[in-house]
Amino acid sequence: MDKKNCHLILILLIVSILLFAGVPRVYSIEATAQNQAYSFLANVLDFNMSTYDKTVVAYAPSSAAPPNTGFEGLPVESITVNLTSTSTHSLAATFTFVNGTLELCGLWTYDGSTVSPLYSQAEPSTVLGAVKGILQSYENYDEAVYVQPMLNMLDANPSLNGLNNATVTAGNLKCTIEVDDGSTTLNFHYVADGVDYDQKCLSLVFSSGILTSFSDKWSFYQTNNSLSINVPEQKAENIAWNAANTDDPNVTVTLTDNPQAALIGDVDNLTLRPIWVIQFYSNNGTVNVPANGVEVGVWADNGQIAYCTVMGYLEISNTPPSSLPTASPSQPNKNAASFDTSLTVGAAAITITAIAVAAWVFRKRSK
Amino acid sequence: MKRTYVTIICVLMLLSFLVASLTQQRVQGMHVNTVWETYYLQPSGEQNAEDAVCNYINSTFNSLSANWESLWFSANQTTATNAYACLSNVDNSSADDFLAWFSTGNGFQYQPTGNTWHFYYYGSNSGAVSNAVQDSKIYNIANGSKNKFTFIWTCMNGDEWTQNGKTIYGYWDTQNNTGPVGMPYAFTQTTGLSLNGYGAGADNSGICYIGFNGCAKNLSDPYENVVGETYATFVDYFYYYFVDCGTSVTMALNYASNALNATQPLFSMNPLYEGYMEYQQMNGAWTYFPGVMVVIGDGNLVLPNVS
């Protein structure tokens, strides 16, 4: 290798290092989410994406999601993009993906004005027409076979016209429409034996006739058990009462055996299960007793305890107790975010360049 | 030849700074987030919920750009003295231009003079009102109007009431000369914000205050009809969307509501917005108290430099 080529390679190496220093590590993941978002807007919501200038304003990798996401360990990532156009109001679109599958698409504007997207073609004039169009596109786009029964339900029930509040149940599908103050919300969710499983659902929100929220959690939850109710209420209350009085070491108050019971749908390991939720209250609360009751969850299919927890308490007495905890002021946890990364990159670039210069000088002198 | 190499090296140095400036955000104004919690009169379950929520909020702000600094005042550090000092420091710092504030604990009201009710929330070191974070003192310190976003998760520190036929969240007491009344007024420095800043009620003032009118939910309270979830998770989700996803306050409230219960994809369908009755203790007696979350001011507020 001659000297000229050697220098050329050295220069290319330095340029490569400098360029890679500025590339975010999450770029490829962000790009995937970004592509998914734009694809959904174009193919399902029929946005004319070519008319928009698109900017990613925020990206949250799965590590940023709240600890208790409700998806039992599945990765959750989000992205917010700005869509600006010279011919209409700018809007923002926020997407959440669970395990790589769309869970939420929300459309909004920074000043709270009406969302007014630019579509590829003329849109239906009614909310019901828009719902059907979106669901049909979504069914094709995502191969979401569970959408067809929803479309069938809309076709078969004139009361689901998007203009009034309505509720229709057919088989394991329940549709509710809520019209309130300029917004219309449609929700499809799973039902079995009269128990609502709100977790497994698909919902759409329209504001002033324009879709502003699309949320699909249907595919995340399985229904591969029977969902049968094998434990009657009285038996569940007895199980809960015993648990509340014996199992939880935090329960230091006397409970009243006057349970408030509700049978609701729950999720266990991403699978639907019916559960009895039973609450008992304390009948002798005093200042500083750290409980006002206990809540017990009893699986309605097999009678096992799902959880037993002390319910909240908030003392709002205006007579503070005589014995008060004391603490001296100290410094806060300062996990400062004032670290200027641009300076770091700059410093690294200078260092690399300096090394390159030194190497070059050294090489020249050694000859 | 030597001159050529020197030129190339100089160009490379310029290029490196160009890359650095293009890929990183420049520090202009500093934005400060503070998180406060107190164990005072809180059971262990609520203390744990406070810890988890404060930890999450602090960490999510710390994941932001260099423009943000987050401070977590843990249970024994949450005192009125520290709160006032922190507020004063930010207010007096020319580098700081935005203060976000989250505090959780117990709140109540008191009468310093005459029959004027003022509001406060407890610090950790004493139940005495003199050691609590008081509305009038907050007002007197927070005169720099850097409190753009305040979220007080306690009872009564978002109280609204009717005065001369008008619903208000704060006023200046001239009857007993006790000064500014109401925690939203104290933090925001104005009585002119929208009473319902959520959704269409947003006033685009650039200031938003969230609190509770009446009794607050406990963070550890079970979330309505969602087994295994608590209101702490709602707060987590709110900050996830508000900070990590860069949405407005209104949208973060909507998406948090949707995340916990997709049959309530709008915050306006949420029990926090609609109001509820909370079973609580007052002077040893148990009874139901009404409560509702209030969003005052600008629900369109978006945090700066969240990308």
Residue B129 maps to a domain: yes
* CB nearest to A342's CB, from B20, B126, B246: B20
Q: Which domain covers residue B70, as residue numbers?
A: 28-297
Which of B125, B73, B126, B146 has its CA nearest to residue B103?
B73
User: Same structural domain for residues A194 and A75?
Assistant: yes
Regarding whether A246 and A98 lie in a shared domain, the answer is no
Question: Which strands form A91-98's sheet, in the order they lie side by side?
Answer: A53-60, A76-84, A91-98, A101-108, A210-216, A195-207, A183-192, A173-180, A166-170
**What pLDDT, in 10s, does the model give residues A107-151?**
999 999 999 999 999 989 999 999 999 999 999 998 899 999 999
Tell me the helix, strand and coil percentages in chain A, rounded to 5. 30, 30, 40
In terms of pLDDT, which residue wins out, B174 or A287?
B174
CA-to-CA distance for A79 and A60, rounded, in angstroms? Answer: 6
* Listed range (A39-43, B24-28, B166-170, B197-201) with the worst mean pLDDT: B24-28
| Residue indicated by tokens 């360029």 | A19
Please indicate whether, in this complex, the C-beta atoms of A60 and B284 are within 8 angstroms of each other: no
Residue A15 lies in a domain: no
Q: Do A337 and B26 touch (CB under 8 A)?
A: no
Q: Please provide the average confidence, as pLDDT, over all residues in chain A.
A: 80
pLDDT in tens, B124-134: 877 788 889 99
**Which pLDDT score, from 0 to 100, does residue A35 have?**
95
Angstrom distance (rounded) from CA B74 to CA B79: 10
Domain count, chain A: 2
Distance (Å) of CA A272 to CA A174, A269, A299, B64: 16, 8, 11, 37
Count of CB contacts below 8 A, A vs B? 324
Instruction: Answer yes or no: do A166 and A264 share one domain.
Output: no
A350 pLDDT higher than 60:
no
- Cβ contact (<8 Å) for A341 and B66? yes
The answer to whether residue B167 is domain-embedded is yes
The reply to whether B57 touches chain A by the CB within 8 Å rule is no
Q: Which of A128, A55, A51 lies closest to A88 in space, CA to CA?
A: A51
Show Cβ contacts of residue A147 under 8 Å, excluding neighbours closer than 6 positions: A135, A136, A138, A139, A202
Tell me if B11 is assigned to some domain: no
B205 touches chain A (CB under 8 A): no
Instruction: Report the gap between the CA of B88 and the closest CA in chain A (Å).
Output: 15
Q: Is residue B229 domain-resident?
A: yes
pLDDT band at B286 (very low <50, low <70, confident <90, very high): low
Q: Which residues contact B291 (CB under 8 A, 6 or more apart)?
A: B155, B212, B213, B214, B215, B216, B217, B275, B276, B277, B278
Strands (E), B75-216: 96-104, 107-110, 118-121, 133-134, 147-153, 161-163, 166-168, 171-173, 179-181, 208-214
CA B160 to chain centre: 17
What is the reported pLDDT for A53? 95
Q: Which has more confidence, B11 or B148?
A: B148
Q: Of A288, A310, A332, which residue constitutes the final position of a domain?
A: A310
What are the respective helix, strand and coil percentages of chain B, to the nearest 5?
35, 25, 40
Which residues of A fall within a CB distance of 8 Å from B98? none
Question: Is residue B252 scored above 70 in pLDDT?
Answer: yes
Distance CA A98, CA B207 (A): 32
Does residue A18 surpass a pLDDT of 60? no
Residue ranges of A 170-209 with Cβ closer than 8 A to chain B: 176, 178, 180-183, 185, 187, 189, 198-199, 201-203, 205
CA distances from B119 to B36, B79, B83, B166, B287 (A): 17, 16, 15, 20, 22
A87 plus A150 within the same structural domain: yes
**Is A4 within a domain?**
no
Residue type, A51: T
- CA A238 → CA A247, A275, B168, B227, distances in Å? 13, 14, 49, 20
Distance from C-alpha of A25 to C-alpha of A73, rounded to nearest angstrom: 23
Portion of chain B with pLDDT greater than 70, in percent: 88
Judgement on whether residues A45 and A119 belong to the same structural domain of the protein: yes
pLDDT for A86 equals 84
- What number is the average pLDDT over the span A310-319? 46
Q: What is the CATH number of the domain that holds B146?
A: 3.40.50
Answer yes or no: is pLDDT of A179 > 60.
yes
Q: Choose among A202, A203, A199, A204: nearest CA to A222.
A: A199
User: In this structure, are residues A280 and A257 in contact, taking their beta carbons and an 8 Å threshold?
Assistant: yes
Q: How many CB atoms lie within 10 A of CB B126?
A: 18
B15 in a structural domain: no
pLDDT of A175 over the 90 cut: yes
Lowest mean pLDDT among A334-343, B152-161, B203-212: A334-343
**Residues constituting chain B:** 307
Which stretch of A248-262, B161-175, B200-214 has the lowest confidence by average pLDDT?
A: A248-262
Is residue A275 assigned to a domain?
A: yes
Beta strand pairing status for A101-108 and A166-170? Answer: unpaired
Q: What residues of A are in contact with residue B225 (Cβ under 8 Å)?
A: 198, 264
Give yes or no: residues A115 and A258 share one domain: no
Of A79, A81, A82, A84, the closest CA to residue A118 belongs to A84
- Is B16 inside a domain boundary? no
CB–CB of A314/B106 below 8 Å?
yes
Question: Looking at the domain assignment, is residue A9 inside a domain?
Answer: no
**Residue A212 sits in the same domain as residue A239:** no
Q: What is the band of A204 on the pLDDT scale with cuts at 50, 70, 90?
A: very high
B3 within domain boundaries: no
Residues A149 and A61 in one domain: yes
Contact criterion met (CB below 8 Å) for A98 and A72? no
Residue whose pair of structure tokens reads 């156009």 in the numeric block = A85
**Partner residue facing A337 (CB), from B42, B70, B255:** B70
Residue A363 domain-assigned? no
Same domain? For A211 and A272 the reply is no
Helix A147-156 × helix A127-142 angle, to 10°: 160
The CA distance from A123 to the nearest CA of chain B, in Å, is 23
Partner B, chain A 97-126, Cβ-Cβ below 8 Å: 104, 106, 108, 110-112
Nearest Cα residue to A229 out of A302, A281, A337, A292: A302
Residues A116 and A255 in one domain: no
Q: Which of B32, B41, B118 best probes binding to A when mutated, by most A CB atoms within 10 angstroms? A: B41
In chain A, DSSP finds a helix count (H) and a strand count (E) of 6, 14
Between residues A12 and A255, which one has the greater pLDDT? A255
Instruction: Examine the pLDDT at A22 and tell me if it is beyond 80.
Output: no
**Region for residue B204 given its phi and psi (left: phi exceeds 0; alpha: psi -120 to 50; beta: otherwise):** left
Check which CATH number belongs to the domain holding A268 and give it.
Answer: 3.10.450
B231-239 vs B44-62: helix crossing angle, rounded to 10: 10
Q: State yes or no: pLDDT of A37 exceeds 90.
A: yes
| pLDDT, mean of residues B289-298 | 94
B17 vs A327, which has greater pLDDT? B17
Residue B38's Cβ-count burial label (10 Å; 0-12, 13-18, 19+) is: buried
Does residue A12 fall inside a structural domain? no
Furthest-apart CA pair in chain B: how many Å? 91
Q: Which residues of A touch B108 (CB under 8 A)?
A: 316, 318
B69 and A337 within 8 Å at the Cβ level: the answer is: yes
Range(s) of the domain holding residue A213: 27-220
Domain count, chain B: 1
Q: Are A26 and A75 in contact (CB under 8 A)?
A: no
Asked whether residue A243 falls in the same domain as residue A117, the answer is no
Q: Which of A310, A337, A355 is the last residue of a domain?
A: A310
- Which two three-digit tokens encode residue A51? 């008319």
Percent of chain A with pLDDT over 90: 53
Give the pLDDT of residue A215. Answer: 97
Both A70 and A214 in one domain: the answer is yes
Is B66 within 8 Å of A96 when comparing Cβ atoms? no
Domain-embedded: residue B19: no
Assess if residue A306 is contained within a domain. Answer: yes
